């Protein structure tokens, strides 16, 4: 696909439909409640301030997640649509209230793919012979959230000190949002990645876990070392598990 064709597809198919925007807003409202729940107090102005900050962070993070998937989908000849998952959203809300904010879950949405027929003539439907493309498209949402978290954290650490509340909330929300999207439960991204390509799932999840371990055990922020560890885990998984199934 040449650049002109790709730009035309973005112009015609990138933006969210009204139903999708409503879904994103509903998800953001619920997730912002979850994020800000432990900050509630008797001061209404403080509650509204914390909720508004959480809402903006969640909205931007969800947009980045699905925007990355939409761009990747168009490159592969698909159209990606945001789908609100009511059961997951209500479960996230329930867990927060029942645990009094001690446990936060973010299970709110998935992506639905459809083929741009005239750009993929004779190449079949998603879910049949295009599992690799589906896995890649879904992966980009998680990757985008990790990059957003790491970018903001890097700016705060090495270039310009940002408000601590903003940095911490955005950073930890994106890490948790990425973590829950690894769950192999439809319609979450993890379900599509795992069943489409186990090797890609193992690599991405190993990268994510390695990044967390480096942060929390060594206080070392490094995508490079996390990538190196993920490669080792990917090789070990292939040698001791995947190769036996071939």
15 token code pair: 């933006």
Neighbours of 199 (CB within 10 A): 13
- Distance between CA atoms of residues 113 and 79, nearest Å: 6
- Proportion of the chain above pLDDT 90, given as a percent: 67
How many residues does the structure list for the chain?
246
Range scoring the smallest mean pLDDT among 73-82, 153-162, 181-190 = 153-162
Could you tell me how far CA 134 lies from the centroid of its own chain?
Answer: 15
Burial class (CB in 10 A: 0-12, 13-18, 19+), 43: exposed
- Which residues are registered as beta bridge partners of 111? 82
- Distance between CA atoms of residues 35 and 96, nearest Å: 9
Residue 44 above 70 pLDDT? yes
Helices 131-154, 44-76: crossing angle, 10 deg rounding: 140
Confidence of residue 222 (pLDDT cuts 50, 70, 90): confident
CB of 148 closer than 8 Å to CB of 64: yes
Does this model's pTM top 0.85? My answer is yes
Neighbours of 42 (CB within 10 A): 6
Per-residue confidence (pLDDT) for residue 209, from 0 to 100: 96
């Amino acid at each position: 696909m040449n650049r002109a064709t790709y730009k035309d597809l973005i112009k015609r198919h990138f933006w969210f439909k009204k139903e999708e925007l409503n879904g994103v807003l509903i998800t953001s409202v619920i997730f912002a409640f979850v994020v800000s729940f432990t900050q509630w107090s008797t001061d209404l102005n403080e509650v509204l301030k914390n909720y508004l900050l959480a809402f903006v962070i969640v909205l931007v993070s969800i947009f980045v997640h699905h925007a990355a998937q939409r761009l990747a989908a168009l490159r592969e000849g698909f159209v990606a649509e945001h789908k609100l998952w009511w059961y997951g959203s209500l479960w996230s809300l329930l867990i927060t209230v029942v645990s009094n904010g001690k446990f936060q879950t973010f299970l709110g949405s998935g992506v639905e793919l459809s083929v741009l027929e005239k750009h993929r003539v004779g190449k079949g439907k998603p879910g049949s012979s295009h599992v690799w493309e589906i896995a890649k498209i879904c992966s980009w949402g998680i990757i985008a959230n990790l990059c957003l978290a790491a970018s903001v954290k890097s700016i705060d650490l090495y270039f310009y000190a940002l408000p601590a509340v903003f940095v911490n909330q955005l950073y930890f929300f994106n890490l948790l949002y990425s973590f829950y999207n690894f769950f192999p439960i439809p319609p979450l991204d993890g379900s599509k990645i795992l069943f489409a390509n186990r090797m890609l799932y193992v690599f991405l999840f190993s990268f994510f876990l390695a990044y967390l371990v480096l942060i929390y055990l060594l206080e070392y922020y490094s995508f490079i070392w996390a990538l190196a560890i993920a490669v080792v885990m990917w090789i070990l998984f292939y040698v001791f598990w995947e190769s036996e199934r071939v």
